[in-house]
Structure 1
Amino acid sequence: MLSYPLLDVRVSTPLLELRAATDELLEQLVPVVHAGKMKAEPSPYDDPIAFHEDDPDLRVAKWLRAMWRGRGIVEADRWRMNFVVVVDGEPVGMQDVIGVSFSTFGTVTSFSWLSADHRGRGIGTEMRQAILHLAFEGLGAKEAGSDAFVDNVGSNAVSRSLGYEPNGFDWATRRGEPVLLNQWRLTRQTWEQRRRDDIELHGVEACHALLPLS
């Protein structure tokens, strides 16, 4: 059987599990994407997997192509690990960690979405805490960034609650239109002060040789 360590990584918390996005797990998420349950208001920025496509079949196809294409990008200046969020055995969304010139700066950022059926239960915050634990404890990150449109109350609230500090503004597009972004920064020191002891990492060491961490 073909073995690829990046697809064996898992992060477990009392509420959920982040599992590397294998084709099997992506297939289980297809109905969520097809039904449009990953959409949110306000809409996210024009990321390749932001789901602005209205046709459900084409939306799924574009999403899968973006996922498969992203697996092959493991470079010193940028890499991305995609995880499916599993709650009580059910895939309910995705949480990614993205290395940004990681070998030089030790910096990561994140991207996530959650099915509309599971919002409002604290899962979004738990997802972010899980991926931060992987970044800092498992991969040795020095800091984590995040950004969200200024009108995205939920995402900005999650960053603020986890100790991120405001780090200026930037611009991104939403359906081709420019919208202002809040930028956030979480240092390793601040994370250490808030780190949890009930999050477990699985299969991380095996992937170190494949990721340009240093």
Structure 2
Amino acid sequence: MDPWPYWQLVLRTPRLELRPDDDAGLLELAEEALAGIHPPERMPFGVEWTDAPRDRLAINTLQHYWSVRATQSPERWTVNFLARLDGRVIGVQTLHADSFAVTKEVGTGSWIGLRHQGRGIGTEMRAAVLMFAFDHLGALAARSSAFADNPASLGVSRKLGYRADGTFVQVRRGEAATQTRLLVTRDGFARPDWELAVTGVTPCLEMLTGC
């Protein structure tokens, strides 16, 4: 038995390859973070991790993903798929769940380097993990959220069939900011016109679905 079956898992879209994070890929991801993810005057993330000093940003990035990888269990898991374009890591697409065997719900989050934005890659990444969750894990719904001043993320959600599911307020850089909760069901998912290729899923099912 492979002690870490996630490394066999691969999702392929027309342009991208998504694999759970490994150390070599995380080094490339840290480089992408250093190259910039968003304009400095904006903060699209609920956790303000990109405000870290430049000399700490790379090590903080590695430590975060290592810590997530170390706490996987069927009851609570997070898979950070490194997204590669032309063989290079350009960002990360997260899929996570708590008590998935009972709730059949997942959540998503993502980022890609600023230099790769505006090309529909964020939509392609999210569509990939939604198809994986709905078609291979048996998920019934997926949740996300975005700040009201993040039209790019909200636009991705609209394209894929999410609907607004309330709001909440959190402190962002010392000020109140509103996030919109978003929900898409398996039946409401606006599928793209391409097929997702998935390999290596069977060894991962016990960890992801509890079965």
Answer yes or no: same fold by TM over 0.5. yes
Distance 1:205 1:173 in 2: 41
**1:113-157 residue CA offsets vs partner (Å, 9 max, x unmatched):** 011111111101101101111111121111001100011101011
Note the C-alpha offset of 1:202: 1.3
Identical residues among aligned pairs (%):
34
State the partner residue of 1:22: 22
SS in 2 for 1:129: helix
Are 1:202 and 2:199 matched, yes or no? Answer: yes
**What residue ranges of structure 2 are gaps of 5+ in the alignment?**
none
SS in 1 for 2:180: strand
Equivalent residues in 2 for 1:122-141, closer than 5 Å? 122-141=120-139
State the partner residue of 2:110: 112
Note the C-alpha offset of 1:76: 4.9
CA pair 33-188 structure 1, distance change in 2 beyond 3 A: same
SS in 1 for 2:188: helix
Equivalent residues in 2 for 1:75-114, closer than 5 Å? 75-114=73-112
Note the C-alpha offset of 1:27: 1.4
State the partner residue of 2:187: 189
Note the C-alpha offset of 1:174: 2.1
Is the contact between residue 92 and residue 111 of structure 2 (CA under 8 Å) also seen in structure 1? Answer: yes
Is the contact between residue 38 and residue 93 of structure 1 (CA under 8 Å) also seen in structure 2? Answer: no
SS in 2 for 1:31: helix
Task: State the AA in 1 paired with 2:149.
Answer: D
CA pair 107-43 structure 1, distance change in 2 beyond 3 A: same
Is the contact between residue 83 and residue 95 of structure 1 (CA under 8 Å) also seen in structure 2? Answer: yes
Note the C-alpha offset of 1:103: 1.9
Distance 1:4 1:77 in 2: 17
* Structure 1 ranges of 4+ moved more than 4 A: none
Distance 2:47 2:98 in 1: 16
**1:38-60 residue CA offsets vs partner (Å, 9 max, x unmatched):** 23563123337x4221x222111
SS in 1 for 2:44: coil
Distance 1:46 1:188 in 2: 26
Distance 2:88 2:136 in 1: 25
**1:176-213 residue CA offsets vs partner (Å, 9 max, x unmatched):** 4331111111011112x636552111111111122354
Equivalenced residue count is 209
RMSD over aligned CA atoms reads: 2.0
Note the C-alpha offset of 1:100: 3.0
Note the C-alpha offset of 1:73: 2.1
Is the contact between residue 74 and residue 206 of structure 2 (CA under 8 Å) also seen in structure 1? Answer: no
State the partner residue of 2:51: 52
TM-score, normalised by the number of residues in structure 1:
0.89
SS in 2 for 1:194: coil
Is the contact between residue 19 and residue 84 of structure 1 (CA under 8 Å) also seen in structure 2? Answer: yes
Note the C-alpha offset of 1:29: 2.1
